[in-house]
């Protein structure tokens, strides 16, 4: 894959494992988890779909963008600092490995209005 972007999501759920999201997405008839990475509330980084494969997380951007999902519902709650710090680490590493040009939200309500998108961009040098 020739990754040029990253899309950030929230799971719109409780604090779930990548394995559980994998089961949800299989039920939808997909090949399994559509995100490349899941970040838990305690900061744990869990691998999702292999980075060598296209994800299934953002229509029209799946062939160019890596999908990262933070667990929680950020329409209702703020992500914990540990979770945001892990996200910053993951993005920083991905930027060293790939020619990432864009870090984007999924859409207006994903990852939720309480997700500190501007702060995250600043921390990764965007």
- Residue 38 DSSP label: E
- Smallest gap from Cβ 62 to Zn ion, in A, equals 12
Q: Check binding of 65 to Zn ion (CB under 5 A).
A: no
3-state secondary structure of 4: coil
CA atoms lying within 13 Å on the CB side of residue 2: 0
Instruction: Give whichever of 28 and 99 is closer to Zn ion, judged by the CB atom.
Output: 28
- The count of chain residues that interact with Zn ion, using the rule CB under 5 A, is 3
Q: Which candidate, 119, 2, 16, places its Cα nearest to that of 70? A: 16
Q: Check binding of 9 to Zn ion (CB under 5 A).
A: yes
- Smallest gap from Cβ 69 to Zn ion, in A, equals 7
Asked if residues 4 and 64 have their Cβ atoms less than 8 Å apart, the reply is yes
Give the rounded distance of the alpha carbon of 69 from its chain centre: 3
Q: Check binding of 106 to Zn ion (CB under 5 A).
A: yes
Among the candidate windows 71-79, 90-98, 99-107, 118-126, which touches Zn ion by CB under 5 A?
A: 99-107
For residue 67, the surrounding DSSP H or E stretch is: strand 65-70
Report the interface residues with Zn ion, using CB under 5 A.
9, 106, 110
């Amino acid at each position: 894959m020739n990754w040029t972007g990253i899309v950030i999501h929230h799971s719109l759920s409780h604090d779930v494992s990548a394995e559980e999201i994998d089961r949800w997405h299989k039920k939808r008839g997909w090949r399994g988890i559509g995100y490349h990475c899941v970040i838990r509330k305690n900061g744990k980084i869990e691998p999702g779909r292999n980075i060598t494969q296209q994800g299934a997380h953002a229509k029209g951007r799946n062939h160019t963008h890596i999908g990262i999902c933070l667990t929680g519902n950020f329409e209702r709650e703020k992500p914990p600092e540990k979770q945001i710090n892990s996200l910053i680490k993951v993005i920083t590493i991905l930027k060293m490995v790939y020619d990432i040009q864009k870090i984007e939200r999924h859409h207006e309500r994903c990852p939720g209005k309480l997700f500190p998108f501007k702060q995250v961009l600043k921390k990764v040098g965007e």
